[in-house]
Amino acid sequence: MKNFAFSLPTKVYFGKGQIDHLTELADYGKKALLVYGGGSIKRNGIFDRAVELLTGAGVEVVELGGVEPNPRVTTVNRGAQMCRDQGIDMVLAIGGGSTIDSSKAIAAAAKYDGDAWDLVLDNSKVADALPVFDVLTLAATGSETNGTAVISNLDVPAKLALKSPRVYPTISILDPTYTFTVSRKQTAAGSADMMSHTFENYFSFEPGADLQRRFGEGLLRTIIDNAPVALEHPDDYEARANLMWTASHAISGIAGAGLAVGWVCHPMEHELSAYYDVTHGEGLAVLTPVWMEHILSDKTAPYFATYGRNVWGVTAGDDMAAAKEAIAHTREFLFGTLGIPSTLREIGVPDASNFEVMAASAEKRTLGSFVPLDKAAVVSIYEDAL
């Protein structure tokens, strides 16, 4: 097991009615920027409840709506300017990963004299940030319990992560009932995303780290058990609660500590989002089985076989046979059970014209992975996934 640092400074209030804890924001200042997306929080009543609680506690609310899925740096710059102009003390995100990510970047950019994209390109420039809070409405990214914000710049185009200990949410409110209204498509994509986070941590040649590996298998089994229930019965509280808590820990660091050697499907997917505005979880779902098949070898087979035996109950004694069964189960779950489209074309990538340039960019982050992928390997995965 590698050395690691582990810190999870976010206070989580989990369960029904926990939004009442928003009154605690009064301890952090008098004026909050309330950031949200395309309006789902206005339709399901969370917006009104949040404003009622905050104003009741003496916190003035300034609104910034319209955060895009795959959030843009232009919106971050606009939010940061609002914070500076209007004397904002803190940023409250209500929504999914896109809203929380842009709120983190806004909080950092509000304290930076320049373009927010500078902070994305050079995370060491994040010297300070306003406190960030969130009410999560979609179980997927784990942004509620980490210090990452993934931001898109359409001018490059690029989608990259701002990572800083300064942007961890101070408080995250996780009420599973808020995810009852999440669509079938987003429930499936979110489940694929948390699965991918687990895979990115789980597949490693690092010896030991037994607890982290068992955490990973537990996360995967929880998704496999609960995502189909949530798809069938969107208001099943236990299924939604299990997915929500799993999402928070698939990427909180607890399952990857001492193991992580670099992520691979994520950098490849972020290029798809940057170029084609692909839904993150769908892009990951399409790439994942292709990636697994691409790197399957005598060296990796035992790792896929262990995954198959411990997560899917595969019984084949031969590692290569068990590994192939595990990958087949993964494919069937993503495209059959979850119903996610299985090709890049179906999710908005029309052709291979940008694969070379996308792969050149992804390669900067895929060479340090479980099995390093150079540009040619990334192009080949994109082509097989098309």
Which residue in 75, 123, 148, 369 binds ligand NZQ (CB under 6 A)?
A: 148
Instruction: Tell me the closest approach of the beta carbon of residue 89 to Zn ion, in angstroms.
Output: 30
Nearer to ligand NZQ by Cβ, of 162 and 305: the residue is 162
Stretch that binds ligand NZQ, among 32-40, 108-116, 326-334, 378-386 (CB under 6 A): 32-40
CB nearest Zn ion: which residue? 193
Footprint (CB under 6 A) of ligand NZQ, residues 48-77: 69-70
Q: Which is nearer to Zn ion, 263 or 355 (CB)?
A: 263
Query: Which residue in the set 117, 178, 215, 291 belongs to the binding site for ligand NZQ (CB under 6 A)?
Result: 178
- Sign of the four-CA dihedral 214, 217, 221, 222: positive
Binding mask 269-308 for ligand NZQ (x = CB under 6 A): ----x------xx---------------------------
Contacts 24+ apart (CB under 8 A), 379-384: 379/355, 380/294, 381/268, 381/287, 381/290, 381/291, 381/294, 382/268, 382/344, 382/352, 382/355, 382/358, 383/352, 383/355, 384/290, 384/293, 384/294
Which residues, 6 or more positions from 210, have their beta carbon under 8 angstroms from its beta carbon? none
Query: Under the criterion CB under 6 A, does residue 176 sit at the interface with ligand NZQ?
Result: no
Return the SS3 of 180.
Answer: coil
Tell me how far apart the alpha carbons of residues 380 and 386 are, in angstroms, rounded to a whole number: 10
Cα–Cα distance, 53 to 142 (Å, whole number): 25
The neighbour count for residue 125, using CB atoms within 10 Å, is 14
Q: Judged by CB under 6 A, does residue 244 bind ligand NZQ? A: no
Which residue carries 């982050």 as its tokens? 365
Give the distance from CA 340 to its chain's centroid: 17
Rounded CA-CA distance 136/302 in Å is: 37
Residues lying near Zn ion in the complex (CB under 5 A) are found at: 193
User: At 162, which helix (H) or strand (E)?
Assistant: strand 158-163
Q: Which segment (25-33, 81-89, 175-183, 238-246) binds ligand NZQ by CB under 6 A? A: 175-183
Distance CA 279, CA 258 (A): 30
Could you tell me the smallest distance in angstroms from the CB atom of residue 206 to ligand NZQ? 21
Please report how close the Cβ of residue 75 comes to ligand NZQ at its closest, in angstroms.
12
Nearer to ligand NZQ, 175 or 325 (CB): 175
Q: Which partner from the list ligand NZQ, Zn ion, none does 150 bind, CB cut-off 5 to 8 Å by kind? A: ligand NZQ
Smallest distance from ligand NZQ to CB 238, Å? 17
* Interface with ligand NZQ, residue 251, by CB under 6 A: yes
**Amino acid occupying residue 151:** I
107 binds ligand NZQ (CB under 6 A): no
Q: With binding defined as CB under 6 A, does residue 123 bind ligand NZQ?
A: no
Residue 266: closest CA among 346, 195, 343 = 195
3-state secondary structure of 136: strand
Is 186 an interacting residue with respect to ligand NZQ (CB under 6 A)?
A: yes
| Site residues (vs ligand NZQ, CB under 6 A) | 37-41, 69-70, 95-99, 101, 137-138, 140-143, 146, 148-150, 178-179, 181-182, 186, 190, 193, 251, 266, 273, 280-281
